[in-house]
Amino acid sequence: MMSTLHASRLRAITMLFFLVLTAVGLFFKTGFGTLCDLGYGAISAICPLGALETALAGRTFHLRMLVPLVCAVIIIAILGRFFCAWICPAPIFRDWVSGSTRKHHEDSAAASQVGWTHRSVPMIYSTATEQIGRTHRSAPTIDSRHFILGGALLSSAVFGFPVFCLVCPVGLIFATIIGVWRLFQYNETSWMLLVFSAIFILEIVICRKWCRKICPLGALLSILSGLNPLFRPRVDNGLCRHVSKKMDCENCKRVCKENIDLHHSEKSRPITECTKCRECADVCHTGTTTFSLHYKNGNDKSV
């Protein structure tokens, strides 16, 4: 399936599924909720950041919050930051505005047509690359998102309500959907619908580096992703043109929105930032990069 349908389109379908699920829940009054509090009946999955903010704001911690948090930690330990690429709807709106996804694929396709050039690098390069891959950093690095995460939690405790939830793109998207539905269903007008929409548009259009520089939820997920050893991108050195044939192929590095370099860990962000988006696998014309659970052969390496 992945070979005939790019992961970017599959991600778009997955994100749209949750948007449609919310709309269906509103229309048929089934109460599926939103990504901030998704569930049915007594079963709910609360946003881990929202749950922490609510607990700090109310200075209480209920079992209802603990169970979804534990489940979220388990899921992140298995799948890492998959939420950021496969479920969060904010990236798809940002891509539509900037056209970045289309540009990535066009650049990669152009690179594959112009041919490859050989490096004049000694054979020891391959061995060095393997060593770099084995020692790729798994611990998250502290950046601006982590300071914002700390500020969001602290402000929630100080002001007594989940502050970040007011500007969270995910929350704004679903608040806008709910506002539009109430407008058509009950003819209920509210300035908040315009405010939510305006803030979301500003974040998408102006704060294009929101996911990498600002999002505290992404920071929290990157910390918890330190528990995730599975489904990491793996490079087969025997097939990789960059390693085995010393060619100037850096397509996987160019398309990675998290600035992860599978070959040079000393220049790369930590692997905990990987969102499993599969862009690097899709752009590789030799099938070098995979996200399989286990090694395929002795030439594979996990980064």
pLDDT digit string (tens) for 269-296?
A: 898 899 999 999 999 888 888 887 754 4
pLDDT at 277: 92
| Phi-psi group of 72: left, alpha or beta (phi > 0 → left; psi -120 to 50 → alpha; rest → beta) | alpha
Tell if the pTM clears 0.85, that is, is over it.
Answer: no
Q: What are phi and psi of 137, to 5 degrees?
A: -60, 130
The answer to whether 81 and 215 are in contact (CB under 8 A) is: no
Q: What is the 3-state secondary structure (H, E, C) of the chain?
A: CCCCCCHHHHHHHHHHHHHHHHHHHHHHCCCCEECCEEEECCEEEECHHHHHHHHHHHCCCCHHHHHHHHHHHHHHHHHCCHHHHHCCCHHHHHHHHHCHHHHHHHHHHHHHHHCCCECCCCCHHHHHHHHHHHCCCCCCCCCHHHHHHHHHHHHHHHHCCCCHHHCCHHHHHHHHHHHHHHHHHHCCCCHHHHHHHHHHHHHHHCCCCHHHHHCHHHHHHHHHHHHCCCCCCEEECCCCHHHHCCECCCHHHHHCCCCCCCCCHHHCCCHHHCCCCCHHHHHCCCCCEECCCCCCCCCEEEC
Which range marks the domain in which residue 152 is found?
Answer: 7-88+143-223
- Residue 151 domain-assigned? yes
- Residue 232 domain-assigned? no
- Residue 233 domain-assigned? no
Distance CA 268, CA 201 (A): 31
Supply 80's token pair.
Answer: 């890492």
- Residue 118 domain-assigned? no
- Residue 191 domain-assigned? yes
Supply 294's token pair.
Answer: 């286990």
pLDDT at 153: 94
pLDDT at 236: 86
Number of domains in the chain: 1
- Residue 255 domain-assigned? no
- Residue 184 domain-assigned? yes
pLDDT at 294: 52
- Residue 247 domain-assigned? no
Residues of the chain with pLDDT under 50: 1-4, 101-102, 104-135, 295-302
